[in-house]
A and B are shown apart, each in its own frame.
Chain A
Amino acid sequence: MKKQIFEGFADESYVKAELPSGLAIYIMEKPQYSSSYAIFGTKYGSIDTRFSKDGEEMITVPEGIAHYLEHKLFEGEDGDAFSKYAKTGASANAFTSFDRTCYLFSCSDNFYENLDILLNFVQSPYFTKENVEKEQGIIGQEIRMYDDNPGWRVMFNLLKGMFHTHPVRIDIAGTVESIAQIDADLLYKCYETFYNPANMFICLVGNIDTDKTLKQIEKSIIDRKPVEITRGEFDEPQTIVNPYMEQRLAVNTPMFCLGFKQKIATPYRRLKSKICVDLLLQIICGDASPLYARLMNEGLINDDFDSEYFNGNGYAAVIFEGESCDPERVANEIKAEINRLRVEGIDKKLFSAVKCGMYGDMVRRFNSVENLAMSLTECAMYDYGLFDEIKMVKSVSYDDVMKRFDVFCDENAVLSVIKPLED
């Protein structure tokens, strides 16, 4: 087993280990804490709809299958994982996002017993015709719940307006129609491809002993031959699909997402780039910015207003979102402010303040075993070090941030709006 210790902020440190099977393990001891947080994840999410394994033929699977697999993995031949966790008192859950599926638990007692449950059920798929069919009703209701969620709809309508072919445009859970095509064979196919240790990671933080934990993992991981995964190329044009998307739902105040699709030459963004765009967003529209003050004082936004740099394998966009009586005016004000700052430059005092703010947020992250475990999954996904961000934010310069105006291109802007129902 390869093992490396990382230090770099206060008295915090963690171990990164790699088993011969390729499984990456991150462990951060927090002996003064009562609880621990564990994540067993795979680099497999809703966007992985086209792939081939070990050079076999490329296949296309139904939308929503990664999420469906997540639900079904909890059910084993010897009972479901929840009932096993129930005996230990742990709180367990899982989630599927665009690019990963993670199984997790948190607990104060019985950590090693809980880790056993996690390691075992994630490695023991049990899909039958009956149990796969049974899940259709439950996931169908989950999809229906999101159909009524305007915050979810406004975001996915935006993605549909921005992306032509990239599967980031599809709902993570798929549709009632697409999940109807899922069967046990397809689930096994996806499982065997993506749930290989070489494509997986384990992140553990809390009141735990690193050596004891590593031994337990080493013993429990089934030795499997690494697979070669080829993901389908996205072939996404640099242009947008539609600059304006609108839907009517039962809301009182219109909701909006304004997205700027970034023209990208490579699939992934670098960490420094992400930090610089995050800082730039705080300068453009953070709560100490002139634009935020103007929009707030004119009654155009409220506390729900926010922005993010949305990026992953083959997609990148800057997104502003919120509620407004006049989304089009907010969109125009944001575009005008970006163009003004691009020419006039950003306020140096504000640049220094938002840098302080971001550093503080990063220090704060070390308070929570959950936040740390989630941050370690980012390290596993993108091969960062946990302390890289905090080091980098201190060294980012004014010019570094000014360069990131290249993410904004007016011709690639899409406005998605949810309006109230018409009488």
Chain B
Amino acid sequence: MSAKITQLSNGAEGVFIKNDRFNTTLVSFNFYVPLARETVAEYALLPFVMTTCSAAYPDFSALNFKLAKLYGANLSASAEKVGDYQLLKIAISTIDDRFALDEESLCDSAVQLLTQLIFEPKVENGAFCEVDVAREKRKAIEHIRGDLAQKRIYAKKRLIEEMYKGQPYGVAKCGTETQVEKITGESLYNAWKNLLSTAFLRVNVISRTMPGGLFDGISEKLGSITRENIVDCTMSTPTAAVSKPNTVIETMDIAQGKLCMGFSSELYGDDSETAALTVMCDIFGGGPYSRLFTNVREKYSLCYYCASSSVKAKGLITVDSGIEKENATKAEREILNQLDIMKQNLFTDEEFQSSIKSITDSFKSYNDSQGLLDAWYSLKIVKDKLLSPEEAADIISGVTRNDVVYAARGVKLHTVYKLLPKEKDGDK
């Protein structure tokens, strides 16, 4: 099931993924801009303001009422990091017209609503409405502050901050509290104008039929905007190896410690350039057959979770685990020991085969989920061909043991971050 790509404008493309399985149609607008300290907060706030009001629906209650009447159409907003770029997503999903109880035209209404939200926001005197901006700023700050409540996420975020100090990838994906505080209706309006004129845009449509006139309509809207200096989002810089790994230890009033380790990889880039890294990372700490699960968790009972993941565009591998304070050093040593086993080609054939099977099995199931397909086609920023999940699975199937060992040998420890429980009275 491959995607059909239509050029909509300079630096804008429409991707139609035809899929007959679903009862719904999903349309997502994906804007890509560089991650930069100066602009990150405004850009991250934009999708949230734009999905709570528009010129046609000036308050969120009216908008939410309309969404309910569209049989619970799902309108969503997000701001994520994709390598050194920020991905701003606004999406709508609605049930297909054939399920409407009164023969309404749901898909057209939903698409019209989405394009209105993006191209016709609620603007007063060259600024977004201060009331809307203040409300979304408050929520954004609470969201940023909320990271502390989720210790696993918090610890991983701190690791990334430490690894990429002063670099685009080290910028927090929604900015800092101070950056959000400074946003005004006017600055947000300017960010919106910049977004429409300079961001690379990809519009994903996942449906059994292409909504009539959608891509033409977007082309027309974009045609009325001066599109220039379009962002090239294929230029993420790889993670540089360090000669001496850095260790950062912090304490907090918590029951369980967190151990996060960041590694640089010599392999980085798109799916075809990093297939061996994907398999290596999976054997190392992916599924329950992985070295970290079977050893750090099962053999030594050191933790409930110990897993690795990769950010291919950055050549980054991370490992995170929840541990008792007194086991932190032992767990760290064992994680490095398991990486050495990968480098020395001492992992088993069974582990290698399990990993290939698990990754390809999982890629094949992407076509059964609109959400996964949308994520797949928005997280792939490539210079060449946009691969489908099946094509990526074929590349994974071609990875050899030697490729995996080569990938592992390019992986070097960069930073260790430990979040440990504070010592209580009576502790040693």
Contact = CB atoms under 8 A, between A and B. Distances in A.
Nearest to A248: B253
Contacts of A33: 21, 368
B116 interface: no
B146 A252 contact: yes
Contact of B95 (A92, A323, A363, A394): A363
A103 to B, nearest CB: 13
B256 A147 contact: yes
B157 interface: no
B71 A363 contact: yes
Contact of A251 (B23, B68, B148, B256): B148
A107 interface: yes
Interface in A102-154: 106-109, 134-139, 141-142, 144-145, 147-151
Interface residues of B, number: 69
A271 interface: no
Contacts of A356: 68-72, 101
A287 B60 contact: yes
Interface in B241-285: 252-256
Interface in A350-407: 350, 353-354, 356-361, 363-364, 366-369, 394
Most interface-central of B21, B68, B73, B135 (chain A CB within 10 A) = B68
Interface residues of A, number: 73
Given A141-B303, A147-B255, A106 B365 contact: yes
A292 interface: yes
A359 B69 CA distance: 10
A6 interface: no
Interface in A203-259: 249-253, 255
B323 A255 contact: no
Interface string B18-35: 001111100000000000
Interface in B42-81: 59-61, 64-65, 67-74
A180 interface: no
A83 B288 CA distance: 8
A90 B361 contact: yes
Interface in A25-42: 30, 32-35
A89 B360 contact: yes
Nearest to A144: B256
Contacts of B324: 141, 144
B301 interface: yes
A34 B367 CA distance: 7
A144 B302 CA distance: 12
A409 interface: no
Contacts of A90: 358, 361
Interface in A244-280: 249-253, 255
A361 B95 CA distance: 9
A368 B365 CA distance: 11
Contacts of B95: 360, 363-364
Interface stretch (B83-91, B137-145, B181-189, B229-237): B137-145
B364 interface: yes
B73 A89 contact: no
Nearest to B102: A356
A356 B64 CA distance: 12
Interface string A296-330: 11010011100000000000000000010000000
Contact of A88 (B138, B303, B323, B357): B357
B364 A357 contact: no
A110 to B, nearest CB: 8
Nearest to A251: B149
Contact of B289 (A86, A253, A292, A360): A86
Contact of A360 (B72, B131, B149): B72
B164 interface: no
A82 B350 contact: no
B145 A87 contact: no
A290 interface: yes
Contact of B287 (A91, A151, A251): A91
Contacts of A253: 142, 145-146, 149
A343 interface: no
A87 B303 contact: no
Contacts of A137: 301-302
Contact of B73 (A85, A354, A359, A360): A360
A341 interface: no
B65 A288 contact: yes
A148 B69 CA distance: 40
Contacts of A304: 146
B301 A107 contact: no
B323 to A, nearest CB: 7
A323 to B, nearest CB: 6
Most interface-central of A106, A303, A353, A366 (chain B CB within 10 A) = A353
A1 interface: no
Nearest to A32: B21
Interface string B298-326: 10011111000000000000000011100
A306 to B, nearest CB: 14
A403 B71 CA distance: 24
B68 A252 contact: no
Contact of A252 (B24, B148, B322, B323): B148
Interface in B90-115: 93-95, 99, 101
A358 B95 CA distance: 12
Contact of B256 (A35, A148, A299, A366): A148
Contacts of B351: 86
A361 B72 CA distance: 6
Interface string B362-379: 101101111000000000
B126 to A, nearest CB: 24
Contact of B135 (A86, A255, A297, A323): A297
Contacts of A108: 361-362, 364-365
B358 A86 contact: yes
Contacts of B369: 367-368
Interface of A: 10, 30, 32-35, 82-83, 85-92, 106-109, 134-139, 141-142, 144-145, 147-151, 249-253, 255, 286-290, 292-293, 296-297, 299, 302-304, 323, 349-350, 353-354, 356-361, 363-364, 366-369, 394, 421
Interface of B: 20-24, 59-61, 64-65, 67-74, 93-95, 99, 101, 131, 135, 138-139, 142-143, 145-146, 148-151, 252-256, 287-289, 293, 297-298, 301-305, 322-324, 350-351, 353-354, 357-358, 360-362, 364-365, 367-370
Given A34-B367, A91-B287, A250-B253, 19 more contacts: A10-B23, A10-B99, A83-B350, A86-B287, A107-B365, A135-B301, A141-B256, A149-B151, A289-B61, A303-B143, A304-B146, A356-B72, A359-B101, A360-B73, A363-B24, A363-B71, A363-B95, A364-B72, A367-B370
11 contacts: A34-B365, A83-B350, A86-B351, A89-B360, A138-B301, A141-B304, A144-B255, A289-B61, A293-B60, A302-B143, A364-B93
Give the 3 A-B CB pairs with smallest separation, nearest first: A360-B71, A89-B357, A137-B301
